[in-house]
Structure 1
């Protein structure tokens, strides 16, 4: 009966170690690319949300100005 653990992780078999190393490197590279892509999308959405908030603040300020509400009156309350 042979020991299957030695067959799988036999350090003398350089091809298995080399294949495993290459597989792990490719997997880590894919994970890094996916993480970078998700990170870029999240940052893009945060920037977009910031722009929308700025637009909303401007619209509210314009509406307040049209309604005759003074900023100083609002701050006093």
Structure 2
């Protein structure tokens, strides 16, 4: 009977080893898939940022070509008193 127990133990160890190897392969495959997905999304975001920067530069160029003042320079007029100056 002891010989049979030794064989069962060896088989059990082999089964467990195979199970762990399969599990590790599945995990590696999933991590690789997630990694590829993340890299793809980062690349797409980089492209969208580049397009956005180009659009902003195009708008700046267009505004400069029309001779329009920038929105910052028209938002505050130096001749107007500040609200707290007029009440004194």
The 2-side partners of 1:68 and 1:49 are apart by 29
Aligned residue-pair number: 65
Return the offset for 1:70.
1.8
1:52 aligned residue: 51
Offset, 1:44: 0.2
Equivalent residue of 2:68, what SS? Answer: coil
Aligned position for 1:16: 15
* Residue 30 (structure 1) aligns with: 29
Which structure 2 segments of 5+ residues have no match?
Answer: 1-7, 76-88
Gaps of 5+ in 1: 1-10
Larger Rg: 2
TM (norm. structure 1) is: 0.78
Distance of 2:51 and 2:16 partners within structure 1: 52
Give TM-score scaled by structure 2 length: 0.69
Higher relative contact order (CA 8 A, sep 6+): 1
Q: CA RMSD in A?
A: 1.4
Cα shift at 1:61: 0.4
